Structure 1
Amino acid sequence: MSEPTSPDHDDVPGAPGVEPAPSGPAHHDSSAEEVFRTSLRTVLWLLGALLVVGVGVGWLVAGAPGVWGALIGVGLALVFSGTTIVAMLRTAHSSAQTMAAVVMGTWLAKVLVVIVVLAVLRDQDFYSRGVLAVVLLAGVLGSAYLDYRAVSRARIPYVDPASSGTTTPDS
């Protein structure tokens, strides 16, 4: 059995009686936040490109109503896709219950906003319904894919080795 080390003793990882030094602070919080930032950044790039292409194609297909359809479609796609990412970023350091409540609340709010906007626009004829539908569909499906890609490429550990209470094979 080894002697305990004193506080003024230089602890050497791997020495008898000395716990292995942790490999550094856990990076899972910052890694998760980086996933959300990457997702938000790529979704904003997608919606910016969709705005340019949608307005151009909308103008060619339906004139001014096509432009309005593209603008409304990108706006709704931003509300629908961006709110969850922003909610996750804002609650990254909160408890699981708080995060779940905020995400569920934002989901309900965005669905309500989309339903109200579509109900208000139902009887209007200043926009192209076809252009709006295509742009909205492309924005929502594209952002879902970009979210998936950001998460699948992330390097987030499933467990925190420093807090698991297990020892390494070398100890």
Structure 2
Amino acid sequence: MSAPDPRPAPPAGSTSGSTSSSASGTAREVEAVFRLALRDVLVLLGVLAVVGLAVGWFAAGTAGVWGALLGVGLALVFSGTTIVSMLRTAHATPQAMAGVVMGAWLVKVVVVVAALAVLRGMDFYSRPVLAGVLAVGVIGSALLDYRAVQRARIPYVGA
């Protein structure tokens, strides 16, 4: 004869384990949204690199190419860190997720400001090309993130 189960019985009409399976299902759905957003941002930045390099070359020669490369790199740092930090903390508590996202935001802002400060005194790149590519990259990635979240099928009310 086995010992009785010390855990309380589930309430009438509920199924055992449904909360954990729906929570893990929701976490998978959230991860899918972040993976879609990351993929879309990487595709955008790849296309932006090709177009930016061509436009930069025709607009300012080698300096335009460097401006486009720097713009895509900064856009990747600025846009990618948020998505990656959200993806890495999809299973964490809301407090841990908020801490990681805010920390990543602070680090990326410091990195972008420091990079722009260092580049300020240099003249090997085209500033207008850098600004244009960076603006298109950041605004485009924000729109792609919005589209990924808007199309998501994530329940916001638990069963």
TM-score for both structures, normalised by structure 2: 0.87
- Residue 43 of structure 2 is matched in structure 1 by 45
- Residue 19 of structure 1 is matched in structure 2 by 13
Distance 1:98 1:25 in 2: 21
- Residue 108 of structure 1 is matched in structure 2 by 106
- Residue 89 of structure 2 is matched in structure 1 by 91
Q: CA deviation at 1:110?
A: 0.2
**Percent identity, aligned pairs only?**
64
Q: CA deviation at 1:160?
A: 1.6
- Structure showing greater radius of gyration is 1
Q: CA deviation at 1:19?
A: 3.4
Q: Secondary structure at the match of 1:92?
A: coil
Matches within 5 A, 1:1-171: 19=13, 25-26=21-22, 27-161=25-159
Aligned residue pairs: how many? 144
- Supply the AA of the counterpart residue of 2:21: P
Q: Secondary structure at the match of 1:80?
A: helix
- Supply the AA of the counterpart residue of 2:119: L
Q: CA deviation at 1:20?
A: 6.7
Deviations 1:38-59 (A, max 9, x none): 0000000000000000001000
Distance 1:102 1:94 in 2: 10
Q: CA deviation at 1:102?
A: 0.4
- Residue 4 of structure 2 is matched in structure 1 by none
Moved over 4 A (4+): none
Distance 2:154 2:88 in 1: 19
Distance 2:112 2:27 in 1: 31
Distance 2:60 2:124 in 1: 11
Q: Which has the higher helix share?
A: 2
- Supply the AA of the counterpart residue of 1:19: G
Unaligned runs of 5+ in 1: 1-17, 162-171
Q: CA deviation at 1:25?
A: 3.0
TM-score for both structures, normalised by structure 1: 0.81
